[in-house]
Structure 1
């Protein structure tokens, strides 16, 4: 169990770092479950559990400054405990979201620490101490590695009871505060995106999407489907109007040539 806990801690840390520095998709639950199953010697079960967890976390994503539940850590622990206990998908589905929410707290703390490291790197860059700038980046990776291992290692080594106890220790006020913050931060994220896009005519689409997600009860996937349909309709009419305009311009040019 010690070896498995160490290997899964390393795997979760690498995938979390990939999530923060690339988004190539390997930190998504489907890949996480597959790789976890491969480490534990049950690839088929890992794929099955990963696919099921992918459906749960499909609509979760970070918008702007919002920090979503840590689906990577949640998927590693849920898949591993499901395989190790032999209880299959049921226990994985039960554990994935609570563990992801618990890991979200440490994710916020690690991001705060890394913000300080960024300012430290800025100071070294101004002094042209580029070796220390590089060191600051490696320290950020170390913070992420520690943050992930602190959760994954005891969860795998001590089992389900350790995970449940870890989540139960978190004060209710802290969980409530994170819930409220999670409701506010997406709006802040939308505001940040609006300031970056100097295209005023696109602003209503942001507010429509936000209203559908917040007040309409739509998931991110639902809002995306509506957005795709709206985009296709607008693209169709824009092309149609462009063709009509070109035809009118050509007709006007022909008339002008005859007049000459």
Structure 2
């Protein structure tokens, strides 16, 4: 079992948890994704592999989950941070950490997300008054102040959990690995199945019926290439045992080939849509009435 989480690690992870929610609503650099949360947390905790496994699992779990308007969604990023940190520090199985910590924390953080949104209305009302007063510097300051409740909605619970929850999680892991081994195995199995749930949600919202041909073709190509390059990898391993000078690795060739084929189809579809837009007549210009209602977008 590993040692407890050091304070500098707690501090860095807390700062990242505060940044990632701000990035998600302003900068949008993609650092506010579970796979990045797993990568960064794994680097800080000293176990990149575990971080990528947990981050990738939660990324696939929420792959098809979206939010519309002011709706809140589960915070898989914070769930990834805590699951990765406790998995590495307490020696917990990665898939068990996903099911036992990652998903529950991601769901509970909905409440802090709502609290952050509610608190942020204070600055929104101040901006309304500043707009009437034409105080532009004040508008800019209060816009930036609005990041404070967002950041604290993640930073405070992550800090408290990392700083004071380590011994509790270690005790739970010890029990799971001894008296409740059956429960630990069940949680690990559930964690391994969660990415499939994410894919199911994604397929539910994607126009799969409209493009069923691409779906079948993609599945077939993936299956064929995976089988082909698995055999190539096996052959390469056998050759490497015979010849010490053979060091070539084929681990990523299959995924690279599949990605390039997908990129080809995407480029062709993009060009096709551009041509269709050129052939269609220009849409009528939108007009606003005196009360602010927009006309011309009924389609």
**Fold conserved (TM > 0.5)?**
yes
Matched, 1:49 2:54: yes
Query: In the alignment, is residue 8 of structure 1 matched against residue 28 of structure 2?
Result: no
Partner of 1:34: 39
Cα–Cα, structure 1 residues 118 and 148, in superposed 2: closer, same or farther, change >3 Å? same
Q: How far has the Cα of 1:74 moved from its partner? A: 1.2
Structure 2 residues not aligned, in runs of 5+: 1-5, 170-199, 215-268, 280-299
| CA distance 1:81–1:227, shift in 2 (3 Å) | farther
* Pair 1:150–1:228, CA change in 2 (3 A): farther
SS of 1:226 mapped into structure 2: coil
CA distance in 2: counterparts of 1:60 and 1:38, whole angstroms:
27
Offset of residue 148 of structure 1 = 1.2
State how 1:208-223 maps to structure 2 within 5 Å: 219-223=201-205
1:103 matched to 2:131? no
Question: Does the 8 A contact of 2:59 with 2:76 survive in 1?
Answer: no
CA distance in 2, matches of 1:36, 1:20: 21
| Aligned pairs (5 A) from 1:83-98 | 83-89=88-94, 90-98=96-104
Say if 1:27 and 1:228 are closer, same or farther in 2 by CA, change over 3 A: farther
1:121-173 per-residue CA deviation (whole Å, 9 max, x = no partner) reads 1211221222221221222111122211111001111225768xxxxxxxxxx
Q: Supply the distance in 1 between the matched residues of 2:209 and 2:26 (Cα, whole angstroms).
A: 27
**Residue 156 of structure 2: which of 150, 153, 174 is its match?**
150
* CA–CA distance in structure 1, aligned partners of residues 211 and 121 of structure 2: 39
Distance 1:162 1:99, change over 3 A: farther
Report how far residue 55 of structure 1 moved.
1.6
Over aligned residue pairs, what C-alpha RMSD do you find? 2.8
Contact 2:14/2:155 (8 A) holds in 1: yes
Offset, 1:54: 1.3
Give 3-state SS (helix, strand or coil) of 1:33's partner.
helix
Q: CA deviation at 1:226?
A: 2.1
Alpha-carbon separation, structure 1, partners of 2:80 and 2:204: 23
Aligned residues: 183
Distance 1:85 1:30 in 2: 21
* Alpha-carbon distance change, 28 to 116 in structure 1, aligned in 2, over 3 angstroms: same
Q: Which of these residues, 119, 130, 144, is aligned with residue 136 of structure 2?
A: 130
- Under a length normalisation based on structure 2, what TM-score does the superposition of the two structures give? 0.55
User: Per-residue deviation at 1:115?
Assistant: 2.6
2:83 aligns with 78
CA–CA separation in structure 2 for the residues paired with 1:227 and 1:150? 44
Secondary structure at the aligned position of 1:24 is classed as coil
Deviation at 1:31, TM superposition (A): 0.8
